[in-house]
Amino acid sequence: MLPGMPEKQSGARVLIRAHLALDSERTWGLSAHLHACAIDPVWPVVVEDIKHDEPIVARVGSPSDTEIPFDILQTSGARLIAIVPDDSDESLASAAAAGAWAAVLEEDAHVALADAVREVSEGRSPLFKAVADRTGAAFSILAMLREAWSRNPASSPPSPLNDREARMLRMVSEGVTNREIAVRLTLSEQTVKNYLSMVFEKMGTRSRAQAATMALEYGWLRED
């Protein structure tokens, strides 16, 4: 907690800690908002004081950013929330590349950061949901995942996909439409939609981008 802040709140809402890897001016500017929403802003960041899965806030995608605390993320298992300069696909992709669970616009941080902290602390990823509806950002992230996967094909959970489902999802990850997939596999477009719906159900995802991202991350689309 920052010096000069009011004592921790009591009541129905559980106080959540958020570690702020930001400059002093921005830290003070966001602290009142966080504390009013039952969130304890912790600064300066001390690695030994961070508990596993606690949120850590840093700026991403601006030349004036402080260094992203990758070592802290790796050591502590903290969940990054990125403050980004704008709502462009490039900013969202930069946040994803940094390993962020959520991205909050710079201009909205004073009212939106607390909700992002609460979602991330509860195990949700607002960035993942936002990217799913943004084609440009989604495929930028998929391209990054493909590159990372080719460099480090780490072990992953067993794939739930059969050969045809994996082939379809591989085409999805390359930006191929359902109609084009149907033509390539000599199937009806509706059949392709049905297959992909079953894929989403197997994987617990809701969209093409979510399913393709997860499959690429786990290496399930590798062609052996």
User: How do residues 3-35 score in pLDDT, each as one tens digit?
Assistant: 445 444 444 456 899 999 888 888 998 998 898
pLDDT at 82: 92
**51 has which bridge partners?**
none
In CATH, which of 1.10.3720.10, 3.40.50.2300, 2.60.40.10, 3.40.50.10380 is domain 16-132?
A: 3.40.50.2300
- pLDDT category, 156, cuts 50, 70, 90? low
- Where do the domains of the chain lie? 16-132, 135-218
Residue 58: φ, ψ to 5°: -145, 155
What is the CATH class of 135-218?
mainly alpha
Three-class SS state of 197: helix
Among 33-37, 42-46, 98-102, 213-217, the range scoring the smallest mean pLDDT is 213-217
Q: What contacts 33, CB < 8 A, 6 or more positions away?
A: 110, 111, 113, 114
The pTM of the full predicted model, rounded to 2 decimals, is 0.60
pLDDT value of residue 10? 44
Average pLDDT score over residue span 84-93: 86
The two counts, helices (H) then strands (E), for the chain are: 10, 5
pLDDT given at position 57: 93
What pLDDT was estimated at residue 92? 84
